[in-house]
Amino acid sequence: MSVEENVNQEPNYLEYKSNRKGLGAWIFSTDHKRIGLLYLYSIMSLFFIGATLGLLMKFELIAPGKTIMEAQTYNGIFTLHGIIMIFLIVIPGLPAVFGNFLLPIMIGAKDVAFPRLNLLSWWIYVLGALVAVSSQFLGDGPPDTGWTFYAPYSFKTTTNMLPAVLGAFILGFSSILTGLNFIVTIHRLRAPGMGWFKMPLFPWTLYGTAWIQLLATPIVGITLLMIVAERMLQIGFFDPALGGDPVLYQHLFWIYSHPAVYIMILPAMGAISEIIPTFAKKTIFGYKAIVASTLAIAFVGYFVWGHHMFASGMSTFSLYTFSILTFLVAIPSAIKVFNWLATMHKGSISPETPFYWAVSFIFVFLIGGLSGLVLGALATNVHLHDTNFVVAHFHFIVFGGTGFAFMGAMHYWFPKIYGRMYDTGWANTGWMIFFIGFVTLYLPMFYLGMIGMPRRYYDYLPVFHGPNIISTIGSWVMISGLIIIVVNLFRSAKYGKPAVKNPWGGRTLEWEVGSPPTLENFDTIPTVTRRPYDYS
């Protein structure tokens, strides 16, 4: 219970007693806050698996030749690592955990528009996860196509593709239903007085993201079904022997998977937009520009997918078109970075853990984003396609972007979610070690890519050895940091100092309810008069 709680006696959402007992009170709960935590714990468990796979890969790569596993095993490991990290962690990530928990509160609502659908989304997520992971244990060996399931190999390989593909298909429904729920919630449940332009920026990014989840996911859904049809019925769409075209698969796959990266990064940017004003004690610079940039990224992001296919044999016209659009879509992201920095400028900085995550986010996101431009330019792409440069790029921008923002959000909203404070010393130590490890792990990969080391390769030439050693050591440092962070959060959730309603001095609605909130968040729905981040 929060320290300044009046003698209200209404239990908070963690303590609330329903007619169900124990686990059932959680896994059958339609409370958006409990569902957010269900997602948090599922995602953390799966992340543990995905990270272990990553560590195993890095260990294998510490030296050329076989270190701890055979080539086929390596292929299966990078495939599962990708499937888990992409479909089970970063795509659901921020929307499912922080969107679910915070969105209704931030807009002054008691829950999302369709609470039962929300619970169903989580159950579908769990089902999809189980089906996808089952691919490791049934049939003829773990899938080895990479998470991108490229044709024709994906329908020729004898490994266990169906559970992996169907798992991804099922997970798509979870994503779509969450998006649907959030769009209706934002349209219909904003508190009186909260016009669109009084809504905070995290909900805005959830809105943009929700449209992408809604419109892009079905295309990969049908494409995955086409892979199933190819494997089981020899339908022919992607098989050259039957008249099909494997490059068409790539088009369809990336028509979803490129917008998917905006599903990953938009809510991350939204969280950063929440954190920075609070710890700069200054209103966000250029609120409307950030809103416009959010919508621009969501919209333009639909039309750049071909930049994953520059080496596939596309027409020259497409090469030019996709390259230009790729450069264009970088602009709104740059606007956001500028606005975040401008917010900090002449602000009154409060150096707390979420702020460190936000600032380091900007650093790694910049590196990731700029390396994206190198890949977006046609001439350099030819040299770097399918090398470790690409691996570095997407880890900086996805793990660096979504991952760092997730950590920042976790530390920012932790007091609200658990009603307790974490140990700042350990949190900051964990952050520092993690950050150093992260950069050590991924920076060498840019260099490795430039001198020619391919991605998804189990073995490599001796010239690539040195940087690989540095990179692997980086993975150990990073994991140590992560362990410190997670242990700190776990212990603090149980034993941390009780938190007040508004420990950071934030100016958005979630800081006006209890830490933790009651079941329905608000006793009475507030009428909103002020803008968010109003520090006047």
Partner 1 sequence: MEQEKHHIVGYKVYIYVLLALLVLTGLSVAVTSIELGALTVAVALILAATKGALVLTYFMHLKFDSLMFRVMVSLVLAVFAVVLVVTLLDYLYM
Partner 2 sequence: MELHRDDTASKLGMWLFIFTELLLFGGLFIVYSVFRYKNSQAFHLAAEELDTFIGTVNTVILLISSMTIAMSVTAIQKKNKKLTLILLSITQVLALAFMVNKYFEWGAKIEHGLFPGSSSLADLGHGDVLFFGLYFAMTGLHAFHIIVGMIFIGWIMVYVAKDKQSHDNYALLENSGLYWHLVDLIWIFLFPLFYLII
Cα distance between residue 314 and residue 293, in whole Å: 29
Instruction: Give least dist CB 85 to partner 2, A.
Output: 24
Q: Does 327 bind partner 1 (CB under 8 A)?
A: no
Kindly indicate which of the ranges 6-14, 91-99, 232-240, 263-271 contains the residues binding partner 2, using the contact rule CB under 8 A: 232-240
Q: Which of 169, 204, 302, 413 binds partner 1 (CB under 8 A)?
A: 302
186 token code pair: 């934002």
Instruction: Considering only residues 380 through 399, tell me which ones interact with partner 2, judged by CB under 8 A.
Output: none
Q: Which are the contacts of 522, defined by CB distance < 8 A and separation ≥ 6? A: 108, 110, 513
* Closer residue to partner 2, CB minimum distance, 79 or 223: 223
Instruction: Give least dist CB 374 to partner 1, A.
Output: 23
Q: Which are the contacts of 218, defined by CB distance < 8 A and separation ≥ 6? A: 172, 176
Cα distance between residue 71 and residue 527, in whole Å: 61
Q: Which of 6, 19, 316, 524 binds partner 1 (CB under 8 A)?
A: 316
Q: Does 219 bind partner 2 (CB under 8 A)?
A: yes
Q: Which of 16, 59, 114, 535 binds partner 2 (CB under 8 A)?
A: 114
Q: Which of 55, 69, 126, 215 binds partner 2 (CB under 8 A)?
A: 215
Among partner 1, partner 2, none, residue 302 binds (CB under 5-8 Å by kind)? partner 1
278 token code pair: 């609070």
Number of residues that bind partner 2 (CB under 8 A): 34
Cα distance between residue 193 and residue 207, in whole Å: 19
Nearest to 170 by CA among 259, 298, 83, 263: 83
- Locate tokens 């997520």: which residue? 125
* Closer residue to partner 1, CB minimum distance, 182 or 442: 182
Q: Which of 66, 156, 187, 530 binds partner 2 (CB under 8 A)?
A: 187
CA dist 252 to 208, 259, 308, 443, Å? 21, 12, 12, 31
Which stretches within 191-350 are classed as H helix?
201-233, 246-280, 287-300, 316-344
Kindly indicate which of the ranges 139-147, 166-174, 298-306, 347-355 contains the residues binding partner 1, using the contact rule CB under 8 A: 298-306
Number of helices and strands in the chain (H, E): 18, 0
Q: Which of 117, 120, 184, 215 binds partner 1 (CB under 8 A)?
A: 215
CA dist 343 to 268, 279, 296, Å? 17, 10, 21
* Closer residue to partner 2, CB minimum distance, 236 or 286: 236
Cα distance between residue 92 and residue 114, in whole Å: 18
Q: Does 524 bind partner 1 (CB under 8 A)?
A: no
CA dihedral (88, 92, 90, 370) positive or negative: positive
Instruction: Considering only residues 305 through 364, tell me which ones interact with partner 2, judged by CB under 8 A.
Output: none
Residues lying near partner 1 in the complex (CB under 8 A) are found at: 187, 215, 219, 251, 255, 299, 302-303, 306, 314-318, 321
Please report, as ranges, the residues that interact with partner 2 according to CB under 8 A. Answer: 113-114, 176, 179-180, 183-184, 187-188, 214-219, 221-223, 226, 229, 233-237, 242-245, 248, 251-252, 255, 520
